[in-house]
Chains A and B, each alone.
Chain A
Amino acid sequence: MTVRLVVALLAIAATPLEAQQDDAARLAGRVSPEVAALVRQLATDAAARGLPVDPLIQKAIEGGAKGVSPDRVVIAVRGVAAQLDAAAGDLREAGLTPLDTEAIAAGAFALNAGLAGRDVVTLARASRAAYGAAVTLRVAGTLTALGVPAAETVALVSETIRAGRKPGDLLALPGRVQAEVARGATPAQAAAGLARAAAAHANAPGQNRPKHPHP
């Protein structure tokens, strides 16, 4: 029994070290050793705050691949860490606890795409079991990246969830907006039209709305 306990404790203690070695291996040869050391430190600090580490490593590797100067790589990685912190704060404000790293990364992406913290809070509150916060925020971020204004993005995603549409329909929203834009609508008009259709569906008599709010 004692041996089993010791083995289990050793395994728990060794996990962060393995993760650090994995991050070091990913950074090796992709950025300078100095940048790699700084990024590893930022990643360790982020992990201690419960933030996902992968976006930081990815940003550093991306900077290296694009031939960006080491200073700018570190600035960009710090920027990603700040967005992850902000997203985690917004999700906490929305009452999503415990936080999962996937939702935090999606929140940071949505912020980077142009949504404000209050939008992330609203969308996280609108998300439900069938439409996890991560998927909701990814879709919202993608819509914003398409040029849909934040207000229309929030309305479209919220109405689609309220209408009880399938998660696949949520993921299809950016494609539907793009199709409307190809027909001549502005991103805002396209999103507003789709939101109106979703609202009509949600308000139709006998609609089976989701009954299980996010845990």
Chain B
Amino acid sequence: MTDFHPLVKQLLDGEVTLADLPPGLRAEGEEALRLLGAVHREPVTLPAALEAGVMTAVRHRAAAPSLWRRLTAPREVRLRVRPWTLAPALAAAAALALLLSPPRPEPKATTVTVRFVLFAPQAQQVALAGTFNQWDPAATPLVSTGASGIWTATLTLPAGEHQYAFVVDGARWVPDPAAPAVDDGFGRRNSVLTL
């Protein structure tokens, strides 16, 4: 069996794309994907004679004692319950129930910390307004990092979809150039952040 490079295994798992691989590993990655695609997955069909023979044998064995006989045959049943044996039994049942229970969705992170950055060298002040602060341009000012023209703000936001824009010098609404944007219904664009 071929032992692939760990990065190629990540490619097979879909965690990286072929383009993510270093050039030296791309041929190995392509070969691995080719092998994966070539796996034969058609269902196996058994010969009809074999299937019929097996089913005949099964029916022959199953015919043994009748249900009526099993139900009506006299037998002694004794049930003895010791209280101290119940605890491990309950624990085992709980463990089994836990193992067999369907997978639950991952617990959602309720808040996520996000850093907003805008390059605006000419700006005197920059703020952030969006669905998370009731579109209040005064609520979230960005801080200028010296003379670089870079303005930043770090916010902790609830998980979900947020729309926002930068407000430059209190008047100009500017979408985030680094984020996707949608029509705001007023002829402008709102940036979108999905957490």
A residues lining the B interface (CB < 8 Å): 26, 30, 58-59, 61-66, 68, 72, 75-76, 79-80, 105-106, 109, 112-114, 129-132, 138-139, 141-143, 145-147, 163, 165-168, 171, 174, 180, 183, 185, 193-194, 197-198, 200-201, 203-205, 210-212
Contacts and interface: CB of A to CB of B under 8 A. Distances in A.
Contact of B14 (A68, A146, A174, A197): A197
A180 B17 contact: yes
B161 A142 contact: yes
B129 A65 contact: yes
Nearest to B102: A212
Contacts of B131: 58, 62
Chain A CB within 10 A, most for which of B129, B131, B161: B161
Interface residues of B, number: 41
Contacts of A146: 180
Contacts of A203: 36, 41
A205 B186 contact: no
Contacts of A80: 185
Interface in B3-24: 11-14, 16-19
A68 B106 contact: no
Contacts of A65: 129, 135-137
A68 B186 contact: yes
A112 B181 CA distance: 10
Given A61-B135, A65-B129, A142 B194 contact: yes
A117 to B, nearest CB: 17
B134 A26 contact: yes
B121 interface: no
Given A62-B135, A63-B185, A109-B182, 16 more contacts: A30-B135, A58-B134, A62-B163, A113-B182, A114-B182, A130-B105, A138-B194, A145-B192, A165-B14, A167-B105, A171-B194, A180-B19, A194-B17, A200-B14, A200-B33, A210-B103
A163 B14 contact: yes
A130 B103 contact: yes
Contact of B105 (A62, A129, A204, A211): A129
